[in-house]
Chain A
Amino acid sequence: MTRMKVNDVLGSLGLGILAILVVVAIFAPQIAPYDPHHTYKRMERPSSEHLLGTNDIGNDILSEVIYGTRVSLFIAFMVSITAITIGTSLGLIAGYSGGVAEFMIMRIVDIFLTIPRLVLIIVIAAFMPRSIWNLIAVFIIFGWVMTARIVRSEVLTLRNQYYVESARMLGGSNLYILWRHILPNVIPLVVVQFIMEAGHVIVAEAGLSFLGLGDPVARSWGTTFHYAFECPTLYTSDVWMWWMLPPGLCIVATVLGFTFVGYALEERLNPKLKTVVGMEI
């Protein structure tokens, strides 16, 4: 009972965080006090004019962080939607068809799973022109794998459920059975995967951008981080407090938001994790 309640509180908290971030991302031009690319006086301390001061080339940091929300979330959602769609489709095909298709897909999955993901992403990203689309592409290449695997194993159990066999007996085609009887039953899993993947991408993107592999034009939180870090006086003065801390906190908050929602959903959707008082009577 209490576990369920804690779960609900966390879930709503996560949802709240994400809602605020999405609103900020959508209405960035209205919320941000300045154009993030416009230059003002350099290295200003926070004042009523620039709430978080300005950076080494004179951009307003608050505006940069607000626009950064847009970039970070955009990448996260684009990657998650595409990767999860690909992963779900391949998982469905592998689990349902069996045979050669399954063998091929699962071997590819195995290969991807054994490769250290972040290292390879860094290597690939380093050789590609720095653009937000390239980043998205790299993340998608690695993002679908887990979903494909999870969906496939679920489909393997669903495929042998009597209601799937009944549907075949009723004369339903394979496509019909997949769409009507199998997909709806894997959707809860897929939703959780989607949330988890989005949180994951936020961190990975911040990491890459921090290394300087992000898009210098569309600055995400990680990119802001990167430029702050390159500033020689970052730690000798208190400038990190308004330059480095805000984007860092944003990253932490977003990841927590996704994680809370993910856990709450998983608990909700997975009956095995529900705490039940009593036992078989």
Chain B
Amino acid sequence: MLEVEGLTKQFSSGIMKKRNVSAVDCVSFHIKKGKTLGLVGESGCGKTTIGRLILRLVEPTSGKVVFDGIDLLSLKRSELRKIRPRMQMIFQDPDSSLNPRLKIGTSIAEPLRLHGTVPKDERAQKIMELVETVGLNPEHVNRYPYQLSGGQNQRVVLARILALNPDLIIADEPTSSLDVSVQAQILNLMRDLQKKFNHTYLFISHDLEVVKIMSDQIAVMYLGKLVEVGETTDVYNNAKHPYTQALLSSRRILLKGETPGPADIPTGCRFHPRCPQKQDKCAIEEPEPVEVEKGHYVACHLV
């Protein structure tokens, strides 16, 4: 459904001395229809940028994104606008994902109105249907976003997306601003919707527990690069990269230091200054991804 190959985004920074900072560096993965790929990483690792690059909300520097056989990066603006409804995004802050001056019903109706897929006289009924699908009450339609809780607003966002019947949904930390009990409601809803409508998800999160339960495949990202990709069970049971191992250790492996900014990326393996198992080679040579078992890739000199 979605194939990403060598996706790279460089930002230039600095006024006097121009230099390139790569936020995303040569990232490749693919997601099959109806499946979920979980993209895990810490803040500033470039995971959010990947979502935006795929949708071309930000233009990539190089690489290839193929969506359902269509090369997205070669499309013209007008062609892109036509295909966009098939790919949707859920943002992390549900409250600012909705226009505060529009009633919930109007927001949900927006895609229907823009694309005219549903005749005018059937719209009200369609909206009610969508509202029910995401577990809201019909009376919510006449309220404003500030009158609803974060969880309810995220349901509204989902309803609006469903109106378009998209194939691919990129969810960028969709529950990171919600309480755990509400997070569980939204994640369950997303799983149910996926089963029902056969959505393909790219699920971006910093929370490994959430990703584990949501994803079929997992990609772990560190400083703009994927360090480990594989089936969820393989990655969780047989993590090979020291970074993945530390993330999964639930605090038993303490990493030293902090992630450097994308402006000063370490030489060799990007993770080596924090790596508990680093060797001399790691500081010099950048490791290439190696397939350790079927579909399980690791970029580390130790494997």
A interface residues, Cβ below 8 angstroms from B: 161-163, 165-173, 176, 180-181, 184-185
The residue on B at minimum CB distance from A172 is B114
Specify which chain A residues have a CB less than 8 angstroms from the CB of B89 in the assembled complex: 165-166, 169
Instruction: Add 7 more A-B contacts to A166-B160, A169-B89, A170-B85 (CB < 8 A).
Output: A163-B99, A166-B97, A169-B57, A170-B110, A170-B114, A171-B82, A181-B99
User: Judging by beta carbons under 8 Å apart, are B91 and A165 in contact?
Assistant: yes
A171 touches B97 (CB 8 A): no
A-contacting residues, B10-62, CB 8 Å: 55, 57
Q: Interface SS of chain A: helix, strand, loop or mixed?
A: helix
* Contact among B81, B87, B98 with A163 in the assembled complex (CB-CB below 8 Å): B98
Query: What sequence of 0s and 1s flags, for each residue 54-91 of chain B, a beta carbon within 8 Å of any chain A beta carbon?
Result: 01010000000000000000000000011011011101
Contact among A166, A171, A173, A176 with B157 in the assembled complex (CB-CB below 8 Å):
A166
Shortest distance in angstroms between B292's beta carbon and chain A's nearest beta carbon? 36
Q: A162-B96, A163-B98, A181-B99 are in contact. Are A170 and B91 (CB under 8 A)?
A: no
**Known contacts A176-B114, A184-B101; is A166 also within 8 Å of B57 by CB?**
no
**Residue B268 CB within 8 A of the other chain:** no
Asked if B266 is at the interface of the complex by the 8 Å CB criterion, the answer is no
Q: Which of A165, A173, A185 contacts B101 (CB 8 A)?
A: A185
Q: Which residue on chain A has the smallest CB distance to residue B100?
A: A185
Q: How far is the CA of A167 from the CA of B96 in the complex (A)?
A: 12
Smallest CB–CB gap between A175 and chain B, Å? Answer: 12
List the count of A-B residue pairs having beta carbons below 8 Å apart: 55
Determine the chain A residues whose CB is within 8 A of the CB of B110 once the complex forms: 167, 170, 172
- Is the beta-carbon distance between B84 and A171 smaller than 8 angstroms? yes
- Give chain B residues whose Cβ lies under 8 Å from the Cβ of A168: 57, 84
Task: Given A161-B96, A162-B97, A166-B157, decide whether A171 and B114 contact each other with a Cβ distance below 8 A.
Answer: yes
Q: Is B115 an interface residue (CB 8 A)?
A: yes
In the complex, what residues of B have CB within 8 A of residue A162's CB?
91, 93, 96-97
Query: Which partner residue on chain A sits nearest B164 by CB separation?
Result: A170
Nearest residue (CB) in A for B94 is A162
**Contact residue among A166, A173, A181 (Cβ-Cβ distance under 8 Å from B81):** A173
If A171-B81, A171-B84 touch, whether A166 touches B91 (CB-CB below 8 Å) is: yes
- Interface pairs (28), CB distance under 8 Å: A161-B96, A162-B96, A163-B96, A163-B97, A163-B99, A165-B57, A165-B91, A166-B157, A167-B99, A167-B110, A168-B57, A169-B57, A169-B84, A169-B85, A169-B88, A169-B89, A170-B84, A170-B88, A170-B111, A171-B81, A171-B84, A171-B85, A171-B111, A171-B114, A172-B114, A181-B99, A184-B99, A185-B101
Number of B positions contacting A (CB below 8 A): 24
Residue of A nearest to B85 (CB): A171
Could you say which residues of chain A place their CB within 8 Å of the CB of B160?
166, 170
- Closest chain-B Cβ to A103's Cβ sits at a distance in Å of 15
Which residues from B are CB-within-8-Å of A167? Answer: 99, 110
A165, A171, A181 pick with most chain B CB within 10 angstroms:
A171
Residues of B within 8 A of A (CB): 55, 57, 81-82, 84-85, 87-89, 91, 93, 96-101, 110-111, 114-115, 157, 160, 164
Q: Which residues of A contact B157 (CB under 8 A)?
A: 166
| Shortest 5 CB-CB contacts between residues of A and residues of B | A162-B91, A162-B97, A170-B111, A163-B99, A162-B96
Q: Are B91 and A171 in contact (CB under 8 A)?
A: no
Nearest-neighbor residue (CB-CB) of B99 within chain A: A163
Chain A's closest residue to B80 (CB) is A171
Complex CA–CA separation, A88 to B88 (angstroms): 31
Q: Which of A168, A169, A176 has the most CB of B within 10 A?
A: A169
Please name all residues of chain B whose beta carbon is closer than 8 Å to the beta carbon of A171 when the two chains form the complex: 81-82, 84-85, 111, 114-115
B100 proximity list for chain A (CB < 8 A) = 185
Residues of chain B within 8 A (CB-CB) of A165 are: 57, 89, 91
Nearest B residue (CB) for A187? B101
Please give, as numbers and ranges, the residues of chain A lying within 8 Å of B87 by CB-CB distance: 169
Q: Which residues of B sit under 8 angstroms from A176, Cβ to Cβ?
A: 114
Residue of A nearest to B115 (CB): A171
Q: Give min CB distance, B81 to chain A, whole Å.
A: 5
A181–B99 Cα distance when bound, in Å, is: 7
- Min C-beta distance of A173 to chain B, whole Å: 7
A260 CA to B141 CA, complexed, in Å: 37
For A180, the chain B residues whose CB sits under 8 A away are 99
Q: Within 8 Å CB of B164, what residues of A?
A: 170
- Counting chain A CB atoms within 10 Å of each CB, the highest count among B82, B93, B114 belongs to B114
B99 to chain A, nearest CB (A): 5
Most buried by B among A163, A168, A173: A163
A170–B115 Cα gap in the complex (Å)?
Answer: 9
Within the assembled complex, what's the spacing in Å between the Cα atoms of A185 and B101? 7
Query: Which residues of chain B have C-beta atoms less than 8 A from A181's C-beta?
Result: 99
When distances are taken between beta carbons in the complex, the residues of chain B under 8 Å from A184 are 99, 101
A139 to B275, CA, bound (A): 66
Which partner residue on chain B sits nearest A170 by CB separation?
A: B111
